[in-house]
Amino acid sequence: MLLPSDADLLRTSHHLFYEIWMFYESGKYLKYDSRTDAVLTNVHLESFAIHGRALLNFFYFEAKQDDVIAEHYIKNWKSLCPPISEKLERISKRVGKEIAHLTYSRLEVTPETKGWDVGMEQEIHQVVKKFQENTPKHLVVEKLLYLRPEDRKTLPVPTSNARRLYTTNTST
């Protein structure tokens, strides 16, 4: 695949913003509002895990087919990016085996190993911060540069069409 143009990167940054925002918001729900409704807790856990895995793929892994990766934005990203921890590598694999795909590996999950570590948010946030600090500003929407896990009050209240709002809106 040819390297994306600056215009493609800018347009794609809206989707990156959405991935980070949903990861942070799902994590907040799990930390502060969960355990009252099993279905909502599972919805937020699955959202947290899937968006977390998308971010791990973006920051750490080689592009497959038309994947967008951090190196498209920052050529020397591999030298700037904090190394992936064993915990994050395990989580990435676990999301694939226990959430994204129906696998026989799920049969090996015990009640003791079933819990998820929502603390991975802080590790991923450190990588997000490094990306925000080093990304050429003209390649991303401004709101992406200032997004933090604690910014819930400054972001729009999600609506039933929140995904569409964050994936099709191409204005900055």
Q: What pLDDT digit, counting tens, does each position of 125-157 carry?
A: 999 999 999 999 999 999 999 888 776 544 444
Residue tagged 């998820």 (tokens)? 116
When pLDDT is cut at 50, 70 and 90, the band that residue 119 belongs to is confident
Domain extent listing, the chain: 6-166
**What is the total residue count of the chain?**
172
Residue 2 has pLDDT above 80, yes or no: no
Q: What is the pLDDT of residue 49?
A: 94
pLDDT at 171 > cutoff 70: no
Taking only the tens place, the pLDDT of each residue in 48-98 is 999 999 999 999 999 998 999 999 999 999 999 999 999 899 889 999 999
Residue 49 identity (one-letter amino acid): A
Q: What single letter denotes the amino acid at residue 12?
A: T
How confident is the prediction for the chain on average, in pLDDT? 85
Is 0.75 topped by the overall pTM?
A: yes
Q: Can you say whether the dihedral through the CA atoms of 68, 71, 73, 79 is positive or negative?
A: positive
Q: Which residues of 133-148 are buried (b: 16+ CB within 10 A; e: fewer)?
A: eebeeebbbeebeebe
The span from the first CA to the last CA of the chain, in angstroms, equals 27
Predicted pLDDT of residue 115: 84
